[in-house]
Structure 1
């Protein structure tokens, strides 16, 4: 979200979001939650509860959805059932708000599941859904990433293309039962593909990922691997060029990157990053820049994983260019040095 959008649409603070969730719970449930707050937290939240008024449905949806996203991320529970969430949200928010929020929650769930199918061959997916009802075929195509959906459509009978696209164009949302049926279809597709096809695996990339996260002596490990095959080690080094490597760069390298990379990219790229990596990058930043970065990350809230990955990719492209121009010394691992 850019600055102009933020000015047009003020965001609720975390305290106000908490107040909104508590108000939606009802008196008994809210009282039980407040018992676990400190005195200061209770005062701040109850003050916000008293002042809340005229909250738009978009703000209410955002606050409740953020609560459930955080719950699913941090809880050991895999998540409440659709039926449980549906009943709870309807009691707390009423039918209209609950319906909108549930559609958002399960639309995200379906989209995430569909991401798993984008690596399956298009003709395989086309054959799999060939016997499904045209409406289910259209829903399936609608939730696939656009590039994959287009490739699957091409593999289907040409005289069906216009009808499927027209059905997709008319879609607004899908009810919970259809969402459940679609998820079942996705699971059956994945199960069939896993049985009929061998799973692709890049051993070199896997080794690079392992070494990037290895907390022992990477240098000695790479030297031992060179005894097996230096060409393989060269391939591994190419695949080690990952955002993770920034956590072990010398200070002068990171100083240069901090100057080169825009704040917006750091803010996106560090979302969900491991704490040690975040600390390593922030340690070379001026304190005012660290404060600005943390504020920007907090304002952004949850962001799509695709945007995070894109930001990391752009940063690493800058790193590669600087490394190739000999403007920085990129360290993939601590190599043995001699005088």
Structure 2
């Protein structure tokens, strides 16, 4: 764009014009544009929008008029959307070639999502990634700007540096299946960051976590909570459906759950679980069948933390549904017995 001059003869720079346009179009529309910009562009625009002053109505009218003049000159034919091109190119050259061509045209399928991580402090990214498999760590870091990736790696233990750098260097082409895992991990990372920002506390969830690890009389504590507030106590109990609570179940209950819940869910959910919990669950099966389960778990490739947690959550949801129907006597805590 060429620079404009206001009615008073003051030069209006391109950055001024961009800032005024964004301020004029409302928060939602401005946010849609900002998402397409890189970090440095957003920072420069934000600073200018915060500081801009002494802009007259005539200046705004002049900028908007110039913008629409440019739009009319440049918008004779609208560009095809990515979805349209993807379908057309898939048919013409095949999915693999189409994806490569589209990534060149649009800057990569994950570019916009990865750009959202540029604002995340390295400490937060490191905390999230330490929960993920080493290969997923390398993959996500490979898509980040070099400066940010270096800052994250520096926060890892030094003995991990050479391994993760070697994994990044070994990356060539990422399959569609792995890209799906990466997208899933990326969304989990963004959700994790959202939970860490600010001082939000979920009291019910925190009490449930404490109760699941409490070594005293849980039944007595739950009775006391119910005396304070029955609704709150029930909310805490709902949150106590932790995967670790399987360790408190009888062999009959575990055998029933293993029979009713699909094997593929168990195999993923039990990946990397505590040996004591795994032994408790396997003890509910005949020895031969338990051996088969262990072989399947050990033979399954490494799973991302988010995938394992999703399988565990699905199992617990199924257990809750069984309890609601009266199909299983699942104990969230050890209750006092008489006899």
**What TM-score does the superposition give when structure 1 sets the normalisation length?**
0.46
